[in-house]
């Protein structure tokens, strides 16, 4: 695949989480190894602790920062929700990134399940920070100006900080599975991961909350794909994934102040990983998903009206087996589903490692 095609596909996949390593494995060309390595395989230095963190040369300070971030968030939800997760982090510069991640540089993500590895960029200027700039015009100018002036900062710095918030989102996916929530559709899965992130920064990282509040919105440009059904069908292949994530984040900013962490508890009751004995475990229809969410936090139906419409159901059949699977298996199944949805060959399938997950 030529460089222009790689860039085109990369842009399609950009979001504030995306990951989906398997997808880009198909358009990585000869630049990426057929068998992905980990930072540990590369012999990179390691920070020990509850969240082992590997890092590229010169990235020790950033590795320490991200290690603390992820460890603090894991500890916070362990205390608040009883979750227990094991995770490692790879903090990589561009040179090491292409040896480990099939994603464009700067797109945080996670892969694997034993334990999951969250990979984060070591340096500024990655694709997520670049795409964060696309949301600038959607922020009320006075709101943005006041923030930049009060904090003596630039929008570029704000965009870079948002990359680290995406790291919290990645841990949110892992916490979601650990906590026992089984989102019956992809869009809700993404929304919940960001909800975990926003809950954490709201309570523990007050300096980051205004950044989420600034950037947690879709760009003005309304993309080709705007329906939730399209998101289910195309996932990271939609035009554009960042717009969808912005829509999810906008909803979270509305729900969290009213519901707080209790919303996560209610989500687990509404969408449990394991159904009670005798209870039908088939995934709920799109209408039922929205009805349940509306009952938990009024406003979901009105929010859903902001998306486009088509006739396909929000929940696809393939989610039936995903939602009924164990959390680890669910990661693997979703990886394979994402690969198929994006139309790329799976260089690594669920059976040979189960890597790559948004
Ligand atoms: Zn995600």
pLDDT at 214: 95
Residue with tokens 């227990």: 84
The encoded tokens of residue 229 equal: 């059904």
Could you tell me the strand order of the sheet in which 109-111 lies?
A: 46-47, 53-55, 88-92, 117-121, 109-111
Distance between first and last Cα of the chain = 23
Q: Tell me how far the alpha carbon of residue 169 lies from the centroid of ligand 1, in angstroms.
A: 6
Q: Tell me how far the alpha carbon of residue 278 lies from the centroid of ligand 1, in angstroms.
A: 32
Q: Tell me how far the alpha carbon of residue 277 lies from the centroid of ligand 1, in angstroms.
A: 30
Q: Tell me how far the alpha carbon of residue 150 lies from the centroid of ligand 1, in angstroms.
A: 31
Q: Tell me how far the alpha carbon of residue 74 lies from the centroid of ligand 1, in angstroms.
A: 17
Beta carbons of 177 and 189 less than 8 angstroms apart: no
pLDDT at 259: 97
pLDDT at 325: 33
- Per-chain residues with Cβ under 5 A from ion ligand 1: 17, 190, 193, 358
Q: Tell me how far the alpha carbon of residue 262 lies from the centroid of ligand 1, in angstroms.
A: 21
Q: How many CA atoms lie within 13 A of 173 on its CB side?
A: 29
pLDDT at 35: 52
What's the longest Cα–Cα distance across the chain?
Answer: 58
Secondary structure letter of residue 240 according to DSSP: T
**H or E element: which one contains 55?**
strand 53-55
Q: Tell me how far the alpha carbon of residue 186 lies from the centroid of ligand 1, in angstroms.
A: 9
Q: Tell me how far the alpha carbon of residue 108 lies from the centroid of ligand 1, in angstroms.
A: 9
- List the pLDDT tens digit at each of the 358 positions of the chain: 344 333 333 433 333 344 433 333 222 222 334 456 778 888 999 999 999 999 999 999 999 999 999 999 999 999 999 999 999 999 999 999 988 877 788 888 888 878 999 999 999 877 777 778 889 999 999 999 999 999 999 999 999 999 999 999 999 999 999 999 999 999 999 999 999 999 999 999 999 999 999 999 998 888 898 999 999 999 888 888 889 999 999 999 999 999 999 999 999 999 999 776 666 667 788 888 999 999 999 999 999 998 986 544 444 333 333 333 333 333 332 333 233 323 222 222 222 233 344 4
Q: Tell me how far the alpha carbon of residue 152 lies from the centroid of ligand 1, in angstroms.
A: 31
Spatial separation of the C-alpha atoms in residues 207 and 349, rounded to whole Å: 40
Distances (CA, A) of 131 to 138, 148, 196, 197: 13, 19, 22, 19
pLDDT at 258: 97
Q: Tell me how far the alpha carbon of residue 17 lies from the centroid of ligand 1, in angstroms.
A: 5
pLDDT at 155: 93
Q: Tell me how far the alpha carbon of residue 118 lies from the centroid of ligand 1, in angstroms.
A: 12
The encoded tokens of residue 197 equal: 């992130």
pLDDT at 107: 84
pLDDT at 326: 33
Residue 268, exposed/middle/buried by CB under 10 A (0-12, 13-18, 19+)? Answer: middle
Spatial separation of the C-alpha atoms in residues 197 and 199, rounded to whole Å: 5
> So where are the chain's domains?
3-352
Q: Tell me how far the alpha carbon of residue 192 lies from the centroid of ligand 1, in angstroms.
A: 9
Secondary structure letter of residue 221 according to DSSP: S
- Going by C-alpha positions, the residue among 117, 275, 80 that lies closest to residue 181 is 275
pLDDT at 274: 79
Beta carbons of 137 and 219 less than 8 angstroms apart: yes
Distances (CA, A) of 183 to 144, 176, 189, 322: 33, 9, 5, 9
Q: Tell me how far the alpha carbon of residue 18 lies from the centroid of ligand 1, in angstroms.
A: 6
Q: Tell me how far the alpha carbon of residue 181 lies from the centroid of ligand 1, in angstroms.
A: 15
Q: What is the pTM of this model?
A: 0.79
CA-based torsion, 160, 236, 195, 356: positive or negative? negative
Beta carbons of 236 and 13 less than 8 angstroms apart: yes
Q: Tell me how far the alpha carbon of residue 187 lies from the centroid of ligand 1, in angstroms.
A: 9
- Going by C-alpha positions, the residue among 76, 32, 132 that lies closest to residue 356 is 32
The encoded tokens of residue 98 equal: 């292409």
Q: Tell me how far the alpha carbon of residue 344 lies from the centroid of ligand 1, in angstroms.
A: 19
């Amino acid at each position: 695949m030529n460089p222009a095609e790689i860039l085109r596909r990369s842009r399609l996949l950009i979001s504030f989480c995306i990951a989906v390593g398997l997808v880009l494995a198909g358009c990585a060309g000869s630049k990426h190894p057929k068998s992905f390595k980990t930072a540990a395989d590369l012999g990179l230095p390691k920070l020990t602790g509850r969240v082992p963190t590997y890092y590229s040369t010169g990235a020790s300070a950033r590795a320490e920062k991200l290690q603390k971030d992820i460890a603090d968030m894991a500890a916070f939800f362990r205390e608040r929700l009883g979750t227990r997760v094991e995770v490692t982090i790879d903090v990589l510069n561009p040179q090491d990134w292409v040896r480990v991640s099939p994603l464009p540089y700067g797109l945080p993500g996670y892969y694997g399940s034993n334990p999951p590895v969250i990979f984060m960029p070591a340096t500024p200027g990655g694709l997520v920070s670049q795409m964060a700039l696309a949301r600038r015009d959607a922020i009320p100018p006075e709101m943005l100006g006041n923030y930049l002036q009060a904090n003596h900062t630039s929008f570029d710095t704000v965009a870079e900080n948002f990359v680290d918030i995406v790291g919290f989102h990645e841990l949110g996916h892992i916490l979601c599975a650990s906590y026992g929530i089984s989102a019956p559709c992809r869009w809700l899965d993404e929304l919940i991961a960001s909800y975990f992130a926003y809950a954490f920064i709201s309570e523990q990282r007050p300096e980051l909350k205004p950044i989420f509040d600034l950037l947690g919105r879709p760009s003005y440009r309304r993309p080709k794909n705007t329906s939730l059904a399209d998101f289910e069908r195309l996932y990271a292949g939609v035009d554009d994934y960042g717009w969808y994530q912005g829509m999810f984040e906008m909803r979270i900013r509305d729900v969290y102040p009213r519901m707080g962490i209790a919303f996560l508890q209610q989500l687990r009751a509404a969408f449990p990983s394991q159904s009670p004995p005798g209870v039908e475990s088939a995934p709920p229809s799109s209408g039922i998903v929205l009805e349940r969410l509306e009952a938990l936090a009024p406003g979901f139906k009105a929010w859903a009206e902001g998306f486009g419409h088509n006739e396909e159901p929000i929940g696809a059949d393939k989610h039936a087996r995903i939602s009924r699977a164990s959390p680890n298996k669910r990661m693997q199944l979703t990886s394979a589903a994402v690969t198929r949805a994006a139309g790329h060959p799976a260089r690594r399938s669920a059976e040979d490692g189960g890597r790559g997950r948004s």
